[in-house]
Amino acid sequence: MQLTLWTYEGPPHIGAMRIATAMTGLHYVLHAPQGDTYADLLFTMIERRDARPPVTYTTFRAQDLGRDTAELFKTSVAAAYARFQPQAMIVGASCTAELIQDDPGGLAKALNLPIPVIPLELPAYQKKENWGASETFYRLVRALAGAPGARAAREPGRRPLCNILGPTALGFRHRDDLIEIRRLLDSLGIDVNVVAPLGAAPADLGRLKDADFNVVLYPETARSAAEYLKKSFGQPFTQVVPIGVGGTRRFVEEVAALAGLDPAPVLDGPGSRLPWYSRSVDSTYLTGKRVFVFGDATHAIGLARIAARELGFKVVGLGTYSREFAREVRAEAAELGLEALITDDYLDVEAAIRAAAPELVLGTQMERHVAKRLGIPCAVISAPIHVQDFPARYAPQMGFEGANVLFDTLVHPLMMGLEEHLLGMFREDPEFHDGVGPSHLGGTPVAAPPPQAAPAPEAAPAPIHLDHPVSVAVAPWAPEAEKELKKIPFFVRGKARTNTERFARERQLPLITLETLYDAKAHYGR
Amino acid sequence: MNAPVPPPTACGGIDLHQEHGQRAVFCGLTGIVWLHRKIQDAFFLVVGSRTCAHLIQSAAGVMIFAEPRFATAIINERDLAGIADANEELDRVVTRLIERRPDIKLLFLVGSCPSEVIKLDLSRAAQRLSGRLNPVRVLNYSGSGIETTFTQGEDACLAALVPDLPRESDTAAPSLLVVGALADVVEDQFLRIFAAMGIADVRFLPARRAGAMPAVGRGTRYLLAQPFLADTARALEERGARRLPAPFPLGAEGTTGWLRAAAEAFGISDDTFEAATAPGRARAETALAPLRGELGGKRVFFFPDSQLEVPLARFLARELGAELVEVGTPYLHRGHLAAEIEWLPAGTRVTEGQSLDDQMDRCRAARPDLTVCGLGLANPLEAEGLSTKWSIELLFTPVQGYEQAGDLAELFARPLRRRALLEV
């Protein structure tokens, strides 16, 4: 048993729902107890969908267990077929139905419906949402893509043709990423054959094999299906995820190579504003800002690269809750000189954020709240997300426009360079003392509890960033050192305090003096 | 599903139907979201699957970030291998939890569909852990979807508390017990009215703290504040308490009827009752009057959700002049709702149970002015041009009593007003 408060991912049947809801003409019959219909509201509320997800639940109850839940499942499938007349169906069990061991696949088969009915095996006690989405999409493609075989050669003169794989319902910015990538492919001279699962019908999956290659936008959902298509129809698929300017450029090169086209027109085109914005002098203050990145593997890797290479931040933590992609994240972290954090326990993530003392957190909904508690600026870069991250405006993460969006997203939570300079200059003004939080966070900063051991000679201002391990004694601050500390701009004061105290602790100094403060400053630099 | 609908049965003057099929409702686990706010030193540990954890997370919204006093012990494959192992695992998880939250005085082990289906004996686990964690009390109840619908989770929780309540001596003076979680502010309002009537000994179940749960005995007279407390009422009867039949305190009329039941049982004179309730009734009337124009004549359709549907429909029909197209309820307790059923307009269609797609067909055909439904249905119906009021808010918002009558009507009026305001 695992004690859980917050989960980054739902159970695997939620992943299957994300595929079913993304598609048209497909219906999902889920053998599930009453109550599991809560999942509908993720789609109708968070993503604000205007129709119910195409899911029929058997909603069995205790009194049904004594009777025949298998019969209930069969009548549910028959009724759903009669009512919705889908092109294909998927059937499966949620966690409880997995325990009662009815066989959805076999039961549905017995009905002999005139459409493909694809059974899903989603082990609810082992796997999670993203795996469920990936497996469902893979099963659908396997069942509906047709018999494996060689592709017909492309007709001379026809533009190269690709599929776009991966966008789902409830995906973080999938809607707009798709628009952006379609535009990019079009300007390269590549046509899109099928986009799946988002917007595809089961019949469309039968046309997947007509494409020359596959573009995999989200490996979490589409890599298994792409591997199957490669094996069955010899379609190569893209490995580069087009997040960031560098990612997009490498993606353009990769796609152009797969299509046998020249990437130069797109690479030499207007591109993104990010490179110039990042070079403009206002961005100088971004240099070396400490940033902590956590999310699904695709976004965590993509954002760590942007942070380090395109914005000049220092990545001080990188992690993911996607165990399936732990290897990729570990490799990326190693390149940054870090050890990746692979966990689905938000308390571990919170501890890692505290330990890394970042100036910016990039993460999910949960990291947003952790950062709020710690008073650290934050931006959301990955699912799970709440309703505000399904915005009405155009807000892709991928491609050149995505890079523009990300520049703004990552920089806005921080103080702009000029603002930071002015705040430092006027720090003695009544508006800018450390009791006033940065306005974008609203209200007062959340003060961490003051050090428990060895009280300072005079009341210490509450540190902004970090609290201290209770077990370790902190050397007291001499009054003149404490006074000097207050002259340091408040937004770096917390770190100065932490560094100085660590410096003093490591050298077992009995008192933190003015000299200790500046020795520590020289030692750690900035 | 889509089973033939049995013929209507007579029940009061209403047109009662029973329906079987797909149900779009929460399970009883959802009750934790408000119960943990009410009992301030209790912790709710769901023993279930990742689905259970995901459900509570989705239902609790931003509350999940406020160090709430609930969590899920997620059963994994190793636990499924052998039940003995699962018990050891549960003990380990609970011990760790109590170490981390030493402020917890009462721990509920909440059963789920998976724990019920594998027959993990949580009542024995609760006994075992109660002995071991003394003085922390450990109780259990089921909030599983196979056994409970939404608010029935509160019923199961309160029913689990009843055997544990202190015993009131048989010779003690009669006391009044109000049963059902109410917002603190509503409790305090009721306390003031009861005091004005001269009923001094009023207790609430659940109490705000584990150590302050009310005593029960043969002198206890109880008023249900909520319509979904069948098992709790039964457990209280077994302890010798007697129910005061009453409507539910929704709207001015419901509140008056509810208070009057107590006044009659405690021999309060009409004059005293009038004096105690007149100011509240007058204020409720002031608050409701302007809303009659907005809701009068509006056709309302209720999907089943919380069992509050019948009293809410009664309030809308009688105090605001709305018309009732259909009143869906997950379960209709004929006894506890006798006064409410009596008050519903004759011929009102009441549907017990649900066949979701059929009910949606009826709703679309009727095109009501306002549809009261869950969040999985609200946006899809709005997109079809129907105004909706999402029903869960009626559980989280203080709606009982005189002072809230206007707020309650306002919850129904706002979607209609908004639709009229929007030009695009």
Nearest chain B alpha carbon to A75: B1
Out of A1, A45, A128, the one facing B375 most closely (by C-beta) is A45
Q: Classify residue B28 by its DSSP letter.
A: G
pLDDT at residue number A417: 58
Tokens describing residue A446: 């959340």
Residue A213 has, within 13 A of its CA and on its CB side, a CA count of 18
For B53, the closest of A4, A58, A386 (CB atoms) is A4
How far apart are alpha carbons A255 and A275 in whole angstroms? 22
Beta bridge partners, B10, equal B15
| Cβ neighbours of B92 in A, within 8 Å | 1
Closest CA of chain B from A18, distance in Å:
15
Nearest Cα of chain B lies from the Cα of A170 at a distance, in angstroms, of: 13
Q: Following CA atoms B108, B113, B114, B118 in sequence, which dihedral angle do they give, to the nearest 10 degrees?
A: 90
pLDDT at A436 over 90: no
Strands B299-302 and B370-373: parallel
pLDDT at B185: 95
> pLDDT digit string (tens) for A84-120?
999 999 999 999 999 998 999 999 999 999 999 999 9
| Contacts of A153-158 spanning 24+ positions with Cβ under 8 A | A154/A212
Give the tens place of pLDDT for each residue, B46-87: 999 999 999 998 888 766 666 789 999 999 888 888 776 888
Q: Count CA atoms closer than 13 A to A361's CA, side-chain side.
A: 28
**What is the DSSP pairing of strand B349-353 with strand B323-329?**
parallel
Residue A429 has pLDDT above 70, yes or no: no
C-alpha–C-alpha distance, residues B412 and B385, integer Å: 17
Q: What is the pLDDT of residue A463?
A: 37
- Tell which B residues from 318 to 357 touch A, by Cβ distance under 8 Å: 357
- Least Cα distance to A455 among A471, A481, A473, A434 occurs for A473
pLDDT of residue A445: 47
Give the nearest partner residue to A99 out of B90, B114, B357, using CB atoms.
Answer: B114
Q: Which of B27, B53, B77 is the closest to A125 by Cβ?
A: B77
Does the beta carbon of B379 lie under 8 angstroms from any beta carbon of chain A?
yes
Task: Say whether pLDDT at A428 is over 80.
Answer: no
- The residues, ordered by sequence, that sit 6+ positions from A187 with a Cβ below 8 Å of its Cβ are A265, A266, A269
B149 in contact with A at a CB cutoff of 8 Å?
Answer: yes
Type of residue at B133: L
At A467 the pLDDT is 41
Q: Confirm if B24 and B377 have CB atoms less than 8 A apart.
A: yes
pLDDT at residue A152, rounded to an integer: 74
Give the strand pairing for B370-373 and B14-19. unpaired
Q: Which residues 319-378 of A are in CB contact (within 8 Å) with B?
A: 366, 369
ipTM at complex level: 0.92
Chain B, window 247-266: residues with a beta carbon less than 8 angstroms from a chain A beta carbon: none
pLDDT bracket for residue A68 (50, 70, 90):
confident
Note the pLDDT tens digit of each residue in A359-406.
Answer: 999 999 999 999 988 888 999 999 999 999 999 999 999 999 999 999
Residue B255, token pair as written in the block: 């509140």
Q: Does residue B359 sit in helix, strand or coil?
A: helix
Scanning A24-83 for CB atoms below 8 A from B yields 33-42, 44-45, 48-52, 56-62, 64-65, 72, 75-76, 79, 83
- Chain A / chain B CB contacts < 8 angstroms: 181
Reduce the DSSP state of residue B112 to 3 states and report it.
coil
Q: Give the integer Cα–Cα distance in Å for B356 and B387.
A: 18
Which of B23, B58, B71 lies at the smallest CB-CB distance from A34?
A: B23
- Shortest distance between the Cα of B31 and any Cα of chain A, in A, equals 12
Q: Give per-residue pLDDT as tens, A206-244.
A: 999 999 999 999 999 999 999 999 999 999 999 999 999
C-alpha B376/C-alpha A47 separation (Å) is 11
pLDDT of B29 reads 97
**Hey, of A27, A30, A37, A374, which one would you mutate to test binding to chain B, going by the most B CBs within 10 A of its CB?**
A37
Residue A437: which pLDDT band, with cuts at 50, 70 and 90? Answer: low
pLDDT at A472 over 60: no
* Predicted local distance difference test score (pLDDT) of residue A149: 87
Query: What number of other Cβ atoms are within 10 A of residue B281's Cβ?
Result: 17
Rounded to an integer, what distance in angstroms lies between the CA atom of residue A295 and that of residue A307?
Answer: 14
**B289: CB partners within 8 A, 6+ apart:** none
Contacts of A124 in chain B (CB under 8 A): 49-51
Q: Looking at chain B from residue 296 to 325, which residues have their Cβ under 8 Å from any Cβ of chain A? A: none
CB of B113 closer than 8 Å to CB of B144: yes
Question: Which residues from chain B sit within 8 angstroms of residue A9, using beta carbons?
Answer: 50
Closest CA to A343 of A330, A334, A356, A354: A330
- Among all residues of chain A, which has the CA nearest to that of B55? A38
Whole-number pLDDT of residue A309: 97
Amino acid at B172: A
CB of B383 within 8 Å of any CB in chain A? yes
Distance from CA of A67 to the nearest CA of B (A): 13
> CB A96 to CB B146 under 8 A?
yes
Residues 193-222 of A with CB under 8 A from B: none
* Distance, CA of A72 to CA of B25 (rounded, Å): 18
Question: How many angstroms separate the Cα of A157 from the Cα of each of A184, A334, A495, B10, B215?
Answer: 20, 45, 62, 75, 87
pLDDT at res. B87: 87
Q: Give the nearest partner residue to B49 out of A39, A57, A124, using CB atoms.
A: A124
Which pLDDT score is estimated for A453? 43
Cβ-defined contact of A3 to B71 (cutoff 8 Å): yes
Listed by number, the residues of chain B in 30-49 with a beta carbon closer than 8 Å to a beta carbon of chain A are: 30, 47, 49
Does any CB of chain B come closer than 8 Å to the CB of residue A5? yes
d(CA B291, CA B409): 7
Q: Tell which A residues from 380 to 439 touch B, by Cβ distance under 8 Å.
A: 386
**Beta-carbon contacts of residue A239 (< 8 Å; ≥ 6 apart):** A216, A254
Is A34 in Cβ contact with B27 (below 8 Å)? yes
Residues 6+ apart with CB under 8 A from B19: B5, B351, B352, B353, B354, B355, B358, B359
Interface test with B, best of A29, A48, A59 (most B CBs within 10 A): A59
- CA dist B205 and B187 (Å) reads 11
Task: Please report the DSSP string for B39-107 in residue order.
Answer: STTEEEEEEE-HHHHHHHHHHHGGGGGS--SEEEEE--HHHHH-HHHHHHHHHHHHHHHHHH-TT--EE
What is d(CA B329, CA B353) in angstroms, rounded to the nearest whole number? 6
CB B46 within 8 A of CB B72: yes
Strand order in the sheet with A161-165: A191-196, A161-165, A213-216
Nearest residue, CB atoms, A3 vs list B22, B24, B93: B93
Regions of chain B short of the pLDDT cut 70? 1-12, 62-66, 84
Structure token digits, residue A2? 């695992």
Per annotation, catalytic residue among A40, A64, A210, A282? A282
Helix (H, G, I), strand (E, B) or coil at A256: helix
Task: Calculate the alpha carbon distances from A356 to A495, B190, B296 in Å.
Answer: 11, 52, 60
B137: Cα within 13 Å, side-chain hemisphere: 15
Residue A125 · residue A88 · CB < 8 Å: no
Q: Both tokens of residue B220?
A: 């206890």
**Residue A1 touches chain B, beta carbons under 8 Å:** yes
Nearest CA in chain A to B69: A5
Cβ pair B49:A14 closer than 8 A: no
Helix (H) or strand (E) segment spanning residue B203? strand B202-205
Q: What is the pLDDT of residue A524?
A: 79
* C-alpha distance from B364 to closest chain A C-alpha (Å): 14
Q: Is A434 marked active-site?
A: no
- Reported as a single tens digit per residue, the pLDDT across A239-258 is 999 999 999 999 999 999 99
Q: What is the mean pLDDT of chain A?
A: 89
Q: Decide which of A419 and B227 is more confident.
A: B227
Question: Residue A368's closest chain B neighbor by CA?
Answer: B65
